[in-house]
Amino acid sequence: MTNKRTLGTVTERRAEQYLESIGYEILERNYRVKTGEIDLIGRDDKSLCFIEVKYRKDLRFGLPEEAVTPLKMRTIRRTAEWYLLTHPHPAEFELRFDVVAMDDTELRLYKNAF
């Protein structure tokens, strides 16, 4: 049986490989500060993207994207603010919050999800 942390690492790596295959450049993995964590931070053309990865084995608890609640969005935004304070980026970059939702058979990317 796989523990949750190992499963999280595997699914985040799967999401990362997909994003790289469509042109994203991954800058950070599991960025953590006292305000929270962001699974992946990357560039997509001229966008700096803060990416939440959600996985569900089955739909018993709903779609994975439904787990990105308003509280989770607020936590990600606060963590992104800290990242921006400590990591300079070009002024022309747009900021974006993306969600990668996946199960064992499908992966969905929501650009500018919130």
Q: Please tell me whether residue 28 adopts helix, strand or coil conformation.
A: strand
Buried/exposed 42-66: b ≥16 CB within 10 Å, e otherwise: bbbeeebbbbbbbbbeeeeeeebbe
What CA–CA distances, in Å, run from 61 to 2, 24, 43?
Answer: 19, 30, 31
Domains and CATH numbers, the chain: 4-110 (3.40.1350.10)
pLDDT digits (tens, 9 = 90+) for 39-58: 999 999 999 999 999 999 98
Task: Fill in the DSSP letter of residue 45.
Answer: T
Per-residue model confidence (pLDDT) at position 1? 46
**pLDDT higher at 78 or 105:** 78
pLDDT digits (tens, 9 = 90+) for 74-94: 999 999 999 999 998 888 899
Give 3's pLDDT tier (boundaries 50, 70, 90).
confident
